[in-house]
Each structure stands twice: as C-alpha cells, then as structure tokens.
C-alpha cells in the first residue's frame, strides 16, 4: 500500500506476464496507451510502468514495439540469486574440532570456499545437541545463506534440523530418521563389507568390532556383519566392543578390559582410525603380535594411519570431493530456493592395506579418486 502506484501496477503486470496472460516469448506486448487505459493511469505513469517492466527484463524493445521476454527476466532473477548465494556467508558446524577427521574436513571446505570467495562461519558442537541447536540459531541470526553440517548423534538431532527453515546439507553423516535431507556421505555399509571380505581373503576366521557406544545405528558394523554372514562366518555380540568415547584412549582401555573375556578374535574392524590406534596401542602393551595374533582395520584413512607403527589398514574416501559436492549442493539450494527434499550422494570407500593386517605391505601412494558411487534422489 505504501509503494508508489507505478511500482504496484508494474508488479501486477509482472505477475500477469509470467503467468502468460499477454502471450509467450516474442509476442507483442500491449501499447503504452492501452496499458494506461487498462490500469486507469495517465500516459506518463503508463510509460513509467513500461520502463520498469523493461528494466526487469519482462519486455524488450523490438523495432518500435515492445514484445514479451519473460525468459530474460527469469535469467536475470537466477543470476541475482546465484550472486546472492555466492556472497552470503555459509555456516559450517562440526561435532568436535579436536577430532582430526573433522579438522581435515573443515580444511577441505575452506579450500573450496576460498577458491570461490565464499565466506565461512565455523563452530563446533562438542557432541552437545543443545549447543548444536544454539549454533544453528546464531548462524541464522548472522544472516547465513545456508548451513553445512556434520551433525551429532543424539536422538534430538532430527528435531533440531527438521525445524531449520534455511537451506542445509549434511556432510559425513546424515541422521537416519531424516529421509529426504540433502547429504554427501561415504558409503559406510559398503566400507564394512569391503573390510570383512578382505579379512576373509587374508585367512582370518574369527572377528571382532570396536564401535561407538553412542551410535545406535552403525552402518559400518552392519556391512561388516552382513558380509561375514554371507561368507558363512559370525560376529557374536560378545565380540563387539562399544567405546564410551571417540578417542584412542577410550578404545585402548575398552579393548584391554574386554580382551580377557573375549573368545580372542583375530581380526578387529574399528569404527574409525582413532579407535583402531587405541587397539594397536593396547596390543603393544599386552604383548600381542600384530598382525599375527591380532589384525586391525580402521576407517577414514587419517594421516596417523600411515604414521603409527605398525601402519594401519584403513578405508579411504575423498574428503575434498565431499566438501566440493556438499558446497555445490548448498549453493544450488540457496540460489534456486529448492525444497528440503533433495539427494544423497554416496562416496565409494577404497581399502588401503598396511602392516596392521599384512606384515609385508608397503606404504601405498596417496591417490585422489574424485569419484562417487551413486546419486540417490529421494
């Protein structure tokens, strides 16, 4: 009501043009005098309205006549939204920057963002759902265009992100209950399968798993157990160690505590490399020979996997590609204003064999795969 009359009328004509009421691309637009009569305005005001429609790209001058040009208007709007997506800051929340996995992932996001002059706001939730919710609120108040999130594992996580009304994309992990959310993740189930099949090919016949106690649904464990069952082997619940924390110290103490009462499995798969490092340290303290008595495999292929002795067999996947794909998808959501339902990209993990499972293994050369396994539209 408080806008000038010419602007209000031009917006009404814009809506009608985009709805096709005046024809399609290239059709003649009504003359200025006819517009003045339709809108009940003076000829001067009508000329101002035509100028506004022209400036927005809804009509263009062809010879002495104006013709419909909504495609140009749409292109201009898309270009504006793309510029907006690239200039608004992006929030990045991870669970714990003390964990080298998240440090590496943040580093890769920073590299991609720097290349695009994309501003980042970074925060760590420390696995606290209340803090994670607070961080998302602060990001929104700061005017971010969207959020990249490595979410926590608490049951409240689904509700926290379901209530978020700005674009977001998950990286590294997607809450199980949030079907349809955009995410770029490693194919954890496949990684577990690959490790199980490798252990079997090496002649191991007894198996164990070291996981995170806070993680109720663990697809790495699921894939590991499924592949063992397919080959006729079992992973008894008694052989599964659930650590109270994510550090190598947590795994070290848990392994020592459980080892004496386990039926001494010979091949342990660990949820991630830090837990695997803890198992290797415990084996060293207890005088267990690796890999002759105990073989150990991890996940994520962190730098420590090649630095520890014996070096650690692990599952590798391209974190730089995860960062690039996630940021691409977020910018699409910001610029195109797409709905929450989107796609999940699964990156395929690669088995990197080292001395913790094969004493003769040589340190492999680092290789960037830059490939993804599948693109699932939900």
pLDDT tens per residue, range 162-188: 999 899 999 999 987 787 789 999 999
As a whole number of angstroms, the distance between CA 170 and CA 203 comes to: 38
What are the start-end ranges of the H helices in 217-293? Answer: 219-230, 248-259, 273-286
pLDDT tens per residue, range 38-54: 888 898 889 889 988 88
| CA quadruple 153, 154, 158, 164: dihedral sign | negative
Token duo for residue 327: 């940021």
Nearest to 305 by CA among 361, 344, 345, 232: 361
Confidence class for position 132, pLDDT limits 50, 70, 90 = very high
Q: Rounded to a whole number, what is the largest CA-CA distance in the chain?
A: 96
Task: Specify burial of residue 98 (Cβ count, 10 A radius: 0-12, 13-18, 19+).
Answer: exposed
pLDDT tens per residue, range 199-245: 999 999 999 999 987 777 899 999 999 999 999 999 999 999 998 87
Three-class secondary structure of residue 163 per DSSP: coil
Token duo for residue 340: 């929450």
Q: What pLDDT is recorded for position 374?
A: 38
CB atoms inside a 10 Å sphere around CB 80: 11
Provide the whole-model pTM. 0.72
Weakest-pLDDT range from 26-35, 71-80, 313-322, 337-346:
71-80
Confidence class for position 339, pLDDT limits 50, 70, 90 = low
């Amino acid at each position: 009501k408080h806008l000038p009359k010419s602007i209000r009328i031009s917006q009404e004509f814009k809506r009608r043009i985009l709805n096709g009421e005046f024809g399609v691309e290239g059709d003649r637009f009504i003359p200025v005098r006819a517009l003045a009569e339709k809108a009940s305005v003076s000829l001067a005001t009508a000329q101002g309205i035509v100028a506004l429609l022209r400036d927005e790209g809804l009509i263009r001058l062809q010879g002495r006549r104006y013709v419909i040009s909504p495609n140009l208007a749409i292109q201009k709007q898309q270009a504006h939204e793309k510029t907006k997506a690239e200039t608004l800051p992006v929030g990045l929340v991870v669970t714990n920057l003390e964990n080298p996995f998240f440090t590496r992932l943040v580093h890769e996001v920073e590299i991609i963002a720097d290349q695009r002059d994309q501003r980042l706001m970074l925060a760590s939730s420390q696995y606290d759902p209340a803090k994670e919710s607070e961080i998302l609120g602060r990001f929104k108040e700061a005017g971010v265009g969207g959020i990249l999130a490595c979410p926590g594992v608490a049951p409240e996580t689904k509700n926290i992100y379901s209530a978020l009304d700005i674009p977001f994309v998950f990286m590294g992990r997607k809450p199980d209950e949030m079907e349809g959310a955009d995410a770029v993740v490693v194919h954890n189930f496949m990684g577990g399968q690959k490790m199980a099949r490798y252990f079997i090919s090496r002649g191991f016949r007894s198996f164990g798993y070291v996981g995170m106690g806070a993680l109720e649904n663990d697809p790495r464990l699921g894939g590991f157990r499924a592949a063992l069952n397919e080959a006729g082997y079992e992973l008894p619940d008694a052989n599964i160690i659930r650590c109270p924390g994510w550090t190598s110290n947590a795994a070290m103490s848990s392994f020592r505590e459980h080892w004496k009462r386990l039926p001494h499995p010979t091949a342990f798969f660990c949820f991630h490399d830090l837990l695997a490092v803890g198992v290797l340290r415990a084996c060293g303290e207890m005088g267990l020979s690796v890999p002759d008595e105990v073989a150990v495999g991890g996940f994520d292929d962190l730098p420590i996997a090649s630095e520890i002795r014996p070096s650690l067999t692990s599952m590798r996947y391209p974190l730089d590609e995860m960062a690039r794909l996630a940021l691409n998808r977020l910018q699409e959501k910001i610029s195109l204003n797409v709905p929450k339902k989107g796609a999940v990209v699964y990156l395929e993990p690669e088995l990197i064999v080292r001395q913790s499972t094969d004493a003769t293994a040589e340190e492999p050369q680092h290789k960037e795969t830059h490939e993804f396994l599948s693109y699932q539209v939900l």
